[in-house]
Amino acid sequence: MKKSLLIFILLSLTSAIQAQDETFGNIKLMQLYLDKNQLEKVEDLYDDKEDLLSKSWMALERLAISFERREKFKEAIDTYRKIIISFNKSAHDKILATSARAIVSADYERTKLPFYYYKLALLNTQLFGKTHEYTRDIDRKRFKTSAEGFIGLCRKVRCDEGDLKLLEDLLQEKITVDVSKIYRRSWFLSLDLMSWQDRVTLVARSGGARFNLLGTAMGSCIGGGRKWENVDYEIDFEGCLAVASATVSSQSTGISYEQASVPIKSFFVGPGFYTKSFSDNVLVGLQLPVKYRTGEWTNPSEELYTFERGTSIEVGYFLQTKIKIKNISLRTRLGKVLPNPGSLWSIGAIYEF
């Protein structure tokens, strides 16, 4: 019985030594692949020998480094976490449960926890830095929270403060960039002094001769809209009702026509865009309005003439600038509404709330 037990112990020791030798041999091979930058071979070797290598923190560490170099950050994070839980759990739990001031080097000096904490802080910072508008909010928050948590653990075990400050700067830089892309929404009211020209066509009932009349209008436009703004751009959608008085005269030599103080109503609506390339408070942009106009033209003779259109729907463009002073802005616009021949201009104020 004793002889059998001794043989069993010897065989077990021999098997353990052989397994250890095989593990060390594979670890050396993984390191060789890392040195040659043959990273896929590191992962292939681990997959082939997972039952054996998963029991070695040295093998897992080399696997994590391979993932990290290939920018497979999530896999690297999972591997470093596995090393901590499988090989450093008691020290890790003690650090988690102890305040930073109460921790002494003896709590972690026999471990590589400072190295692993820093790697996890770095990798989560990199993941957070790669987030974009399509990243789920839950993932964005998780990466940021994890990075901040491991930075805190790094401070507990006295990692290099310069390295930690760099990670915090990277986190803050990403947060600043994300905030700058967020569009803030608000409503606004507008009041403009506006002048434009309208083309009106008078048609002879006999023979169909056409005579172009040109009306020059000036009045005020009251409106408002909705805007979306970030640090670089401003987008809005605005409508305003213009009440104006026009002077109408003939552009044709075949008829003499003139009328003053014609009541005109126009409705302008459309999207606008501004860029803040020059300054946060000086904006330059473009608006693309649709204009609906109606006027009370006087027919020189109901028997001889008829107006082709008493109303019209037209489109155009405005080049616009805006100077912001807190929640009040001064705006100028210059453009054209087609097919009218003249330019349109306006100057006014906007109140944002």
Write the burial class of residue 289 (CB in 10 Å: 0-12 exposed, 13-18 middle, 19+ buried): buried
The CATH number of residue 342's host domain is: 2.40.160.20
Does 88 lie in the same domain as 38? Answer: yes
Same domain, 342 and 202: yes
Residue in 154, 153, 147 with CA at minimum distance from that of residue 168: 147
- Could you tell me the mean pLDDT of each successive run of 10 residues in the chain, 353 residues long? 55 52 89 95 94 93 96 96 95 91 84 96 96 90 96 94 96 91 93 91 83 89 96 94 91 77 94 92 95 85 76 91 95 91 92 95
Question: Which helix (H) or strand (E) element contains residue 243?
Answer: strand 233-250
Considering the domain architecture, whether residues 44 and 151 belong to the same structural domain is answered as yes
Residues 154 and 235 in one domain: no
Number of domains making up the chain = 2
| 45 and 63 assigned to the same domain | yes
For residue 2, the model assigns a pLDDT of 57
**Among residues 159, 180, 201, which one ends one of the domains?**
180
Residue 10 lies in a domain: no
Cα separation, 40 vs 29, in Å, equals: 13
166 and 27 assigned to the same domain: yes
For residue 13, the model assigns a pLDDT of: 45
318 and 195 in one domain? Answer: yes
Given 180, 211, 242, the domain boundary residue is 180
50 plus 175 within the same structural domain: yes
Residue with tokens 């959608």: 237
Same domain, yes or no: 212 and 268: yes
Q: Report the pLDDT value the prediction gives residue 75, as an integer from 0 to 100.
A: 97
Same domain flag for 211 and 338: yes
> What is the per-residue pLDDT for 100?
83
Q: Answer for the pair 341, 197: CB distance below 8 angstroms, yes or no.
A: yes
Domain containing residue 99: 15-180
| Domain at 109, CATH number | 1.25.40.10
Q: Is there a single domain that holds both residue 224 and residue 149? A: no
Give the 3-state secondary structure of residue 36.
Answer: coil
Q: What pLDDT is stored for residue 6 in this prediction?
A: 54
Q: Please, which residues have CB within 8 angstroms of residue 184's CB and are 6 or more apart in sequence?
A: 228, 229, 230
Choose among 59, 52, 53, 61: nearest CA to 80.
61
Q: pLDDT at position 18, please?
A: 55
Within-domain flag for 207: yes
How confident is the model at residue 133, as a pLDDT?
Answer: 82
In a domain, 4, yes or no: no
Task: Confirm whether 194 is domain-assigned.
Answer: yes
Residue 6 counted as domain residue: no
H or E stretch including 266? strand 258-275
